Amino acid sequence: MRSIRAIASVRRLYANAITLNTKTFGYCCSRTRPTVLSRPSVNATVVGSHCLYNYLSSRYYSSRQDNLREKAIEMEGMEHRIINANGINMHVAEKGKGPVILFLHGFPELWYSWRHQITAFASLGYRAVAPDLRGYGDTDAPDVASGYTCLNVVGDLIALLDVVAPDQDKVFVVGHDWGALIAWWLCLFRPDRVKALVNMSVVFSPRNPKRKPIETLRAFSGDDYYICRFQEPGVIEAEFGEVGFERVLKGFLTYRNPGPLLLPKGKYFGQSDTPISLPSWLSEQDFKYYVSQYDKKGFTGGLNYYRNINLNWELTAPWTGSQVQVPVKFIVGDQDLTYNAPGTKDYIHKGGFKRDVPYLEEVVVMEGAAHFIHEEKPDEINKLIYDFFQKF
């Protein structure tokens, strides 16, 4: 049961309604909810913990002290631990008490992408849990590219949930980018573990048994399309190394072109001598944390998810034609390259999405927002998530 303090907190937080610059598409869901399956036992253990508060307080405190003091206070009370799950060690950030919300990040991000949501939902009576996914940050990165399939990653999450939410049969899930894809798979494979889902940016993609994804993307967008460029192990990593991880990260995190992302060799996000400015929603200190993690680990772990797209297509053959049988809210920015991909708008707004996700309750298109919507507009996103989860 949520505390009176948490209820008072949300009343204060949303006393003045936020005017969202959005288009909302609602759906009436009158179907009977799916039957809950039995919950198996998965071997997972806690093996260590640490605190990011010390990192933020010491590493960059010499510059912009007021900004950093606020960040350090925000991060204080956040627990960081390493959990052994599905044969790997996973770094997890957690804060709060109550029903668990599992936050799943995308590329090229980290648990840190959810910093605004972790703090907000901990104050609202939830337990926010945000892992570094397999291959990212302080989580193990298996050497073999084929170790990053949808089955591997969903297996990680099931084992993780058995540690962080042992007394909760179902949890809330929030995903963005690759985290959204993983959340769709989690709901397909294990709907018995998901209470409700808020997904952002990447819409559900039903399996087409007649066409392999990479060949289809190459035919539509060409060899320079970023997903196609990521396929050959080691090649794009070497090119990123020449350009510099800092510029590569800045290029991805500031990308706002609704068109397809093309990465011709030697031409990444403009000329190499052209500076890239950070957006207002990403501070220099936030960006330095990203850089510090990617300097340590590189991009290979995250890129390996893309290298398994065709293998995932093969592995998910048994789920051809399957529906996502959990309650869903979907949020996307109208400037997001995913929303503007060929066929996506028609799929979302002309019945295809609702056919494949029958418990889809609402689609929110945020005007003027781009891909990293949960960082760009955290207050609005938090309210949209909170309003949906309060129904359950």
Catalytic pick among 80, 105, 371, 374: 371
**Residue 306 among the catalytic residues:** yes
For the sheet containing 22-26, what is the strand order?
22-26, 360-366, 328-333, 194-200, 171-176, 100-104, 127-131, 88-95, 79-85, 44-50
3-state helix, strand, coil in the chain (%, to 5): 40, 15, 40
Catalytic pick among 112, 126, 290, 306: 306
CB atoms within 10 A of CB 190: 19
**Residue 112 among the catalytic residues:** no
Catalytic pick among 132, 138, 156, 177: 177
Bridge-based pairing of strands 22-26 and 88-95 is: unpaired
**How far is Cα 20 from Cα 123, in angstroms, rounded to an integer?**
22
**Residue 223 among the catalytic residues:** no
**How far is Cα 382 from Cα 345, in angstroms, rounded to an integer?**
24
| Residue listed under structure tokens 């869901």 | 29
**How far is Cα 94 from Cα 106, in angstroms, rounded to an integer?**
18
**How far is Cα 193 from Cα 186, in angstroms, rounded to an integer?**
8
Structure tokens at 32: 């009977």
Structure tokens at 112: 């840190």
Largest CA distance in the chain: 58
Structure tokens at 200: 């952002």
Active site residues: 177, 306, 371
